[in-house]
């Protein structure tokens, strides 16, 4: 076993149970976990942007990303709209005060806003997926809601993990034609097809065995759910690959040995979790 694989397994052995416990705890614990992940992801985004010579608001952006899930927790999806508008007004003012004109303050504000919304805003949509009781019948007790919310939150996460594994294995075994050579030469069409098949299978089997009494979608909409979540997870992976290529880095950071940085772990989840939430709100 290679040293890199040992590091990956060690980090996963700690990280996966920790994520499960934080998600199961719910409430402020879960919100704080989302906030910490968002703050770490934004810091990596800011560091990559600075590496290209682009000024960003590092500390205000980190704080804003951390607070995004709390804004959803406190005010729901309506309240978070006020928070988002407030950030769009605040960051240009801060940039004009902090940055010299030679540092292009408006571009700094725009870059900061995008990073905060991309990491903090998208990740914050995991909160209503976990806490919103989307599949629960009226009158369900708290313990049932806690377990159902945890399993529902992990549905797009598990789809992403298994699709990513299938993409790696399928790409190595069958991959010849690159999927997006200008963005990520190692990703192949065969890998993407393998990911989609794994995602569809997971979308069908996971609810059947883990949410049998709560999952109300028929086979066709379940397959559509799997297709949307897996497809956007692939797009999220490509988006972060494009970001890293633009910034000239291999990993977003070295925070997680063997895995890269927080953004390297969140790249697909940032797209898959909101996709799952929006699909279920619209069609479940």
Handedness of CA 77, 75, 59, 272 (dihedral sign): negative
Q: Residue 134: inside a domain, yes or no?
A: no
pLDDT at 276: 98
Q: Residue 130: inside a domain, yes or no?
A: no
Task: Report how far residue 145's alpha carbon sits from residue 132's, in angstroms, rounded to the nearest whole number.
Answer: 9
DSSP string, 114-182: HHIIIIIIHHHTHHHHHHS-SSPPTT--HHHHHHHHHHHHHHHHHHHHHHHHHHHHHHHHH--SEEETT
**Residues 102 and 206 placed together within one structural domain of the fold:** no
Question: What's the domain range around 31?
Answer: 1-124
**Residues 97 and 150 placed together within one structural domain of the fold:** no
Q: How many residues does the chain have?
A: 284
Total count of domains within the chain = 2
**Residues 54 and 155 placed together within one structural domain of the fold:** no
Q: Residue 281: inside a domain, yes or no?
A: yes
**Residues 198 and 234 placed together within one structural domain of the fold:** yes
**Residues 168 and 76 placed together within one structural domain of the fold:** no
Q: Residue 251: inside a domain, yes or no?
A: yes
Q: Residue 262: inside a domain, yes or no?
A: yes
Classify residue 248 by its DSSP letter. Answer: T
**Residues 75 and 152 placed together within one structural domain of the fold:** no
Angle at which helices 105-115 and 27-51 pack, to 10 degrees? 140
Last residue of a domain, one of 89, 124, 159: 124
**Residues 209 and 95 placed together within one structural domain of the fold:** no
pLDDT at 21: 96
**pLDDT tens, per residue, the chain with 284 residues:** 566 668 777 888 999 999 999 999 999 999 999 999 999 999 999 999 999 999 999 999 999 999 999 999 999 988 899 999 999 999 999 999 998 888 899 999 999 999 999 999 999 999 999 998 888 776 666 667 899 999 999 999 999 999 999 999 998 898 789 999 889 888 999 999 999 999 999 999 999 999 998 999 999 999 999 999 999 999 999 999 999 999 999 999 999 988 899 999 999 999 999 999 999 999 98
**Residues 147 and 275 placed together within one structural domain of the fold:** yes
**Residues 177 and 87 placed together within one structural domain of the fold:** no
Residue that is written with structure tokens 């980190």 in the block? 62
| Cβ-contact 253, 262 below 8 angstroms | yes
Q: Residue 165: inside a domain, yes or no?
A: yes
**Residues 147 and 284 placed together within one structural domain of the fold:** yes
Which helix H or strand E contains 18, and what residues bound it? Answer: helix 3-25
pLDDT at 138: 65
Last residue of a domain, one of 97, 124, 151: 124
pTM value is 0.94
Q: Residue 158: inside a domain, yes or no?
A: yes
3-state class (DSSP) for residue 256: strand
**Residues 250 and 182 placed together within one structural domain of the fold:** yes
**Residues 100 and 162 placed together within one structural domain of the fold:** no
């Amino acid at each position: 076993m290679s040293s890199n694989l040992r590091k990956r397994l060690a980090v996963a052995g700690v990280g996966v149970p920790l994520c499960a416990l934080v998600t199961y705890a719910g409430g402020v614990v879960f919100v704080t976990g989302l906030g910490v992940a968002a703050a770490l992801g934004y810091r990596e985004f800011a560091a990559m942007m600075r590496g290209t010579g682009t000024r960003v608001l590092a500390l205000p952006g980190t704080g804003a990303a951390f607070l995004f899930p709390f804004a959803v927790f406190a005010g729901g999806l309506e309240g978070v709209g006020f928070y988002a508008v407030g950030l769009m007004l605040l960051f240009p003012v801060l940039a004009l005060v902090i940055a010299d004109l030679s540092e292009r303050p408006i571009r700094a504000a725009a870059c900061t806003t995008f990073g905060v919304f991309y990491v903090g805003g998208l990740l914050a949509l995991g909160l209503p997926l976990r806490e919103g009781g989307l599949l629960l019948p009226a009158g369900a007790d708290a313990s049932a809601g806690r377990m159902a919310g945890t399993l529902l939150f992990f549905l797009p996460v598990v789809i992403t993990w298994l699709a990513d594994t299938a993409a790696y294995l399928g790409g190595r075994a069958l991959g010849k034609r690159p999927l997006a050579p200008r963005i990520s030469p190692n990703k192949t069409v065969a890998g993407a097809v393998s990911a989609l098949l794994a995602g569809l299978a997971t979308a069908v089997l996971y609810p059947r065995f883990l949410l049998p009494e709560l999952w109300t979608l028929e086979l066709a909409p379940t397959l559509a759910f799997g297709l949307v979540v897996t497809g956007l997870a692939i797009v999220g992976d490509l988006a972060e690959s494009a970001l890293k290529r633009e910034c000239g880095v291999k990993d977003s950071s070295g925070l997680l040995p063997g895995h890269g940085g927080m953004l390297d772990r969140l790249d697909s989840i940032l797209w898959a979790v909101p996709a799952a939430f929006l699909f279920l709100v619209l069609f479940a």
